[in-house]
Amino acid sequence: MAKQSNLAKQASLPDFMYDVGDRIGLLKRVLKTLGNPDKRFKIIHICGTNGKGSTATMIAAILHQLNYQVGAFTSPFIGTMYNGIQRNFADISKSEFNDEMRQIRQVMARPAFRNETLSEFEAQFIVAMLFFADHPVDYVVLECGLGGELDATNAVSDTMYSVFTEIGLDHLGILGDTVTEIATTKSKIIRPGNTTITASHQRSEVFQILKSQAATKQATFISADTVQLTATQGVDLKRVINFQSTIKGRIQGQFMFGLPGTYQLQNLQTVLTWLNDFVAKVKLPRQHLDETLTAALSDLVVPGRFERISTRPTIFLDGGHNPDGVKAFVTSVNELYRSRPKIIINGFLKDKEYQSAVKSLLTLKNTFFIVTEPQNQKRELDAVKLSQVYQQLTDKPVQTFESPIDALKEAIYRTHEFNDEPIIFVIGSFYLLNPIRSYILTKGVDFHEN
């Protein structure tokens, strides 16, 4: 009898094996043994440091509105792991997930995979590929996890598009120690002959690395600066978008856009650049694209990305967890709520560049800070240590809570101390956002009644 692999025996999987042996080679072997499910649909691969989730969700929403069957694999998930695998915006069910995992365990129990195991993320990726093959889709929007070249998602056989959002410093020491090294690692998802699209505001060295890699792979390279857009504030947090491609004979128009946050306009520009090429590639009619975009994007919510989760009091959740992400968050807050009093609940992982992120947060005026810890025992930054960074920069003590929920309750209590009701912002790791978001959605009451 064949010796069972670790995956077959363990109820839980290792959460990180990025640098343990040839991960991509192993995943390709697993996919091949399972019949290469990733070859049964076209893949739009999303990579970058910030904006991946929003960009992926927007592209999936547009494809769905165009009447395609759409799969989406995103990370980190908000809520449960089932939220990270969706078909037409419906989560994979627990039973469906377990059915696909059963196939994976059977494969990993074979002699060919003896003494080999998959990480939790790798297993989720394989589950997604199987699920989208077993429940047929036309397109899969595939978001990179940790990075590029060695990311589990790079084990797919081919991609139609490689879409790059802003690339900056994150996962230092794993993807690289400089922006140049990180961009080089991420650029390796570009496949021969595909279409590669980059956000328009990339650092110059990042832009050149992506352009060079695309040329090496004979891929079509398009910058998002080929689409021009303007935004006018509409009702509530929605904006009216006017856009036009600078490539002759391509898309233009006006639609309603519902995602708040200044940084979402850059992500939107990248999405419209993709759409401009996609419409031409699959020969879709350009008429009624305004209606399609309004239907797809006017009421779209991307959990944890400048997401308004409550109105009484007003609470926003934002997963800015690295210097560039926090700067983008600060810009959005200043654009929308510069003069309003603010309460910020903040927590980071200890492997992030949190000192410079705190410096950016402290530029916000009329703001009261509460520090807490993300719910990740291995990687959480101790709240006391984070509070020390605030104190060193301000010479003032900061309220500190070990529990994110206690921090939230304190923030809500504090709202009564202001003449003008403050806005509560939760900013930092998704491991901070997740418990707070779940608590608010479960509670579902007017906090002012407490």
- What pLDDT, in 10s, does the model give residues 135-145? 999 999 999 98
pLDDT more than 90, % of the chain: 77
Task: State the pLDDT at residue 8.
Answer: 38
**What is the CATH number that goes with domain 307-449?**
3.90.190.20
Report CA 129 to chain centroid distance, whole Å: 19
Residue 4: pLDDT over 70: no
User: Which has more confidence, 297 or 8?
Assistant: 297
Statement: residue 13 has pLDDT above 70: no
- Numbered ranges of CATH 3.40.1190.10 in the chain: 6-225+262-282
Q: Is 185 left (phi over 0), alpha (psi -120 to 50) or beta?
A: alpha
CB 208 within 8 A of CB 182: no
Q: Which residue has the higher pLDDT, 93 or 147?
A: 93
- Over residues 342-400, the pLDDT tens digits come to 999 999 988 778 899 999 999 999 999 999 999 988 888 999 999 999 999 999 999 99
Per-residue confidence (pLDDT) for residue 92, from 0 to 100? 98
Bridge-based pairing of strands 161-164 and 195-198 is parallel
Q: Where in the chain is the domain with CATH 3.90.190.20?
A: 307-449
Topology at the third CATH level for domain 6-225+262-282 = UDP-N-acetylmuramoyl-L-alanine:D-glutamate ligase (3.40.1190)
Q: Which residue, 43, 188, 13, 63, is CA-closest to 128?
A: 43
Q: Rounded CA gap, 39 and 141, in Å?
A: 14
Residue 172 has pLDDT above 70, yes or no: no
What's the pLDDT score for residue 7?
A: 44
Average confidence (pLDDT) over 94-118: 95
> What pLDDT is attached to residue 173?
57
Inform me whether the pLDDT recorded for 129 exceeds 90.
yes
